[in-house]
Amino acid sequence: MTVTTTTDTSGASARWVRRPRPAADPQARLVCLPAAGGTASAYFTWAARMPERVELLSVQYPGHQDRFAEPCLPSVPELADALTAALAPYADRPLYLFGHSMGAMVAYETAARLEAGPGPDPAALFVSGAYAPHRATPYPEELTDAELEGDIRAFGWLEPEVLDVPELRELVLPTLMTDVRAAMIYRPADPVRLRCPVFAYGGSEDRSATPEELSAWRDVSSGAAAWRQFDGGHFYLRAREAELVADIVSRMSDCAQALDGHR
């Protein structure tokens, strides 16, 4: 017999989570976290690539898009604390986490909080375009906006035309700076070793996603770990969306089979 559940999406959960293709009775959920300055809509096209009973949840950070009036949260741990609470209504099904760039850091911290909490562990963590938490070199907190902007351009974290068009710059720069600063000062003193599998992705031209950096993510998992590169730079996932999502879905299926085998 199929049991249909109703997910409570009121309050904080509704502010944090977008469901581009709601599922009445999902078998699992993939939670997608955007990069610095990014928005939930970045993942809306992924929903059509999901299996019918895998629901995609796209995260909207405060201060972004339709949450523009809210203050941005200034650190990765604060983002993870708030997101972990917001995901509680969705934990009735296995949760898989995917994060790109800053989103990978928040996804890792959220996975650690879920494993430390009373609910089920995340089924797997997928990270993209980011150093493992024990590998990143934190920047000084007093870094100026001009220095941050220089690194944004150097690392390719945003299309140059966004920073060069005055109207766009005025809209996105304050939020982007807060996010980038949060990512740059992030490095946990004692990274948690997760129980769930960790899979890392990156672009072949991204300096934060070299084979050495991607393979380092295995050090923060006691479960399965693997990595894969795609052609492209820091935002390879735009051009390689179909291939990336197919790989994620395949690994989700493998994880689900492994979980069933242990029951």
- One DSSP character per residue, 197-212 reads -EEEEEETT-GGG-HH
The catalytic position among 100, 128, 208, 234 is 234
The catalytic position among 101, 128, 208, 221 is 101
Residues in the chain: 263
Name the phi and psi angles at 222, rounded to 5: -95, 0
Tell me, yes or no, if 100 is annotated catalytic. Answer: no
How far apart are the C-alpha atoms of 103 and 124, rounded to whole Å? 15
Tell me, yes or no, if 208 is annotated catalytic. Answer: no
Q: Where are the alpha helices (DSSP H) in the chain?
A: 12-16, 76-86, 102-116, 145-155, 160-164, 166-184, 211-215, 236-239, 241-261
Q: Beta-carbon neighbour count of residue 211 at 10 Å? A: 11
Give the number of C-alpha atoms closer than 13 A to the C-alpha of residue 123, restricted to the C-beta side.
26
Catalytic residues: 101, 234
